[in-house]
Amino acid sequence: MSPTPPLDELIAELPDGAVTTDPATMEGYRFDWARDTGAGMPLAVVRPLDADQVQTTVRWAHRHRVPVVPRGAGSGLSGGSSAVTGALTLSLDRMRAVEIDAATRVAVVEPGALNAEVKAAAAEHGLWYPPDPSSFEICSIGGNIATNAGGLCCVKYGVTTDYVLGLDVVLADGTLVTLGGRRIKDVAGLSLLKLFVGSEGTLGIVTRAILRLIPAQPVRATLVATFPTVKAAAEAVVEVGRTLRPSMMELMDRASVNAVEDYRPMGLDREAGAMLLAQSDAPGEACAVEIDTMERIFTAAGAVETFVTHDAEEGEMFAAARRAVFSAVEARGALMLEDVGVPVPILPVLLTGIAEIADRYDIEVPVVAHAGDGNTHPNIIYDPADADSHARASAAFVEIMELAISLGGTITGEHGVGRLKRAALPAQLGPEVMALTHTIKHALDPEGILNPGAAL
């Protein structure tokens, strides 16, 4: 990095207002939802209006070896966009155009557009953009692409990468490349497109995405069931997966249910060991068949109570309760957010192990899970004013990741590694894959200016 990078040069190259150095304004760009205590103070926050301004910014940064931290809507949960002292924070929040090409069934989207905005624009044409993180109302498509975000419907419809047909990406030297396009199948050349999805801003900065849409698939029925234990619920999930393709299969443990009831009472059973929330979007009579079959499987697995509704609004109420878990647990203290995943049949072992770790460290760890995908979110609650509570939470955070790895799982299913899980990555990938990772990173960003300290 230059001793004092000539920021005036960049300010002169960009229109008024694109570069901010006001500390009060910059404060709002330092953290994402992970509230990373290690976040620094940026040299400046740059808010470009188009790809050309992104290129100008990155060219300047490359010239002066100034690191660049790309940032979407700031709803990340792993500190992937935590500010770095002396770096530019490049916020894409003013690049929000969304255009729907209904005949081709694609959305052409700028990275700052919110997931919900893309969904809404598609819906006007009877189309649907499936990936649905719980935060879909406030998270950006750029962030979704950076983390290869998942969500609730992914159990049937897949994750972000499955819907990315094209990307414009500004590379570390400011070059813009256009990858893929408005065609559904394309195998010409290497799969560079997919390499950038999930790269957490370490390889390039997405300035435009072409996203695949499918005809709308309305949810037709919702099944809620309570179980005596998370183990019984998890076993029911595995059994369902052998024959059925529900459009949602979520699990909430007792602590999550109680957190939601405390936060937004809706009459959930506080005594249940776990609750499963399944939905079917199978068309016509097939929906009732799918729901009935799941209900039978749940009952056989030991469900205490089951409830079915074919009313869409009532079903959405339950889904909203599920999505409220993050806010509900956040209201109980500071959080360390896990995102560990395992092969689906190992889910009961993982959940039992997490409960054991919570007990051992005497901390509260409500768990919610995209159970059909084997992806769980243990939310570690601690008291930030209590050093011992923080130490126990930190130890549990590490142990839960170690447990997932030991079970053939992953430290992150959909949130990304960011800055908070970076130390755990080598244990999952091993030295050969880490070496390969660094080879790719070095080839694409030899000066290491793109999102240093994140992910790799």
**347-360 vs 387-406: helix axis angle to the nearest 10?**
160
Quick one: which segment of 175-183, 299-307, 313-321, 384-392 binds a copy of itself (CB under 8 A)? 175-183
Query: Which C-beta is closer to a copy of itself: that of 186 or that of 399?
Result: 186
Contact with a copy of itself (CB under 8 A) among 441, 450, 451, 454? 441
d(CA 382, CA 221): 37
Query: Which C-beta is closer to a copy of itself: that of 202 or that of 389?
Result: 202
| Amino acid at the residue 112 | G
Q: Shortest distance, CB of residue 202 to a copy of itself, whole angstroms?
A: 8
Query: Which C-beta is closer to a copy of itself: that of 12 or that of 187?
Result: 187
DSSP H or E stretch at residue 178: strand 176-180
For position 94 contacting a copy of itself by CB under 8 A, the verdict is no
Contact with a copy of itself (CB under 8 A) among 126, 307, 384, 406? 126
Structure tokens that stand for 321 in this block: 């309760």
Size of the site for a copy of itself (CB under 8 A): 93
Contact with a copy of itself (CB under 8 A) among 215, 271, 296, 307? 215
For position 447 contacting a copy of itself by CB under 8 A, the verdict is no
Q: Which of residues 264-303 bind a copy of itself (CB under 8 A)?
A: 282-286, 289-290
Query: Which C-beta is closer to a copy of itself: that of 24 or that of 443?
Result: 443
Query: Which C-beta is closer to a copy of itself: that of 97 or that of 214?
Result: 214
For position 188 contacting a copy of itself by CB under 8 A, the verdict is yes
Helix (H, G, I), strand (E, B) or coil at 365: coil
Quick one: which segment of 7-15, 27-35, 173-181, 292-300 binds a copy of itself (CB under 8 A)? 173-181
For position 59 contacting a copy of itself by CB under 8 A, the verdict is no
| Residue 89 near residue 80, CB atoms below 8 Å | no
Contact with a copy of itself (CB under 8 A) among 429, 447, 448, 452? 429
Residue 261 burial class via C-beta count within 10 angstroms: exposed 0-12, middle 13-18, buried 19 and up: middle
d(CA 141, CA 110): 8
What is the arrangement of strands in the sheet containing 44-46, beginning at the earlier edge strand? 19-20, 44-46, 88-91, 68-71
Q: Shortest distance, CB of residue 17 to a copy of itself, whole angstroms?
A: 30
**In this structure, is the dihedral angle defined by the CA atoms of residues 13, 16, 17 and 20, taken in order, positive or negative?**
positive
CB atoms within 10 A of CB 433: 12
What is the Cβ-side half-sphere exposure of residue 350, based on CA atoms within 13 angstroms?
35
Contact with a copy of itself (CB under 8 A) among 24, 385, 387, 443? 443
d(CA 144, CA 132): 9
Query: Which C-beta is closer to a copy of itself: that of 163 or that of 298?
Result: 163
Q: Shortest distance, CB of residue 377 to a copy of itself, whole angstroms?
A: 12
What is the arrangement of strands in the sheet containing 176-180, beginning at the earlier edge strand? 98-101, 106-109, 205-212, 164-170, 176-180
Quick one: which segment of 68-76, 116-124, 188-196, 294-302 binds a copy of itself (CB under 8 A)? 188-196
Query: Which C-beta is closer to a copy of itself: that of 346 or that of 381?
Result: 346
For position 243 contacting a copy of itself by CB under 8 A, the verdict is yes
| Amino acid at the residue 329 | V
For position 442 contacting a copy of itself by CB under 8 A, the verdict is yes
Q: Which of residues 395-424 bind a copy of itself (CB under 8 A)?
A: 408-417, 421
Using the 8-state DSSP alphabet, how is residue 5 labeled? -
Q: Show the binding pattern over residues 346-375: x = contacts a copy of itself (CB under 8 A), - = does not.
A: ------------------------x--xxx
Q: Shortest distance, CB of residue 127 to a copy of itself, whole angstroms?
A: 8
Query: Which C-beta is closer to a copy of itself: that of 53 or that of 375?
Result: 375
**What is the tally of helices (H) and strands (E) in the chain?**
15, 18
| Residue 262 near residue 192, CB atoms below 8 Å | no
d(CA 373, CA 87): 37
Q: Which of residues 322-351 bind a copy of itself (CB under 8 A)?
A: 341-345
For position 134 contacting a copy of itself by CB under 8 A, the verdict is no
DSSP H or E stretch at residue 376: strand 375-382
d(CA 145, CA 196): 8
Nearest 5°: CA angle at 100, between 95 and 104? Answer: 135
Query: Which C-beta is closer to a copy of itself: that of 28 or that of 126?
Result: 126
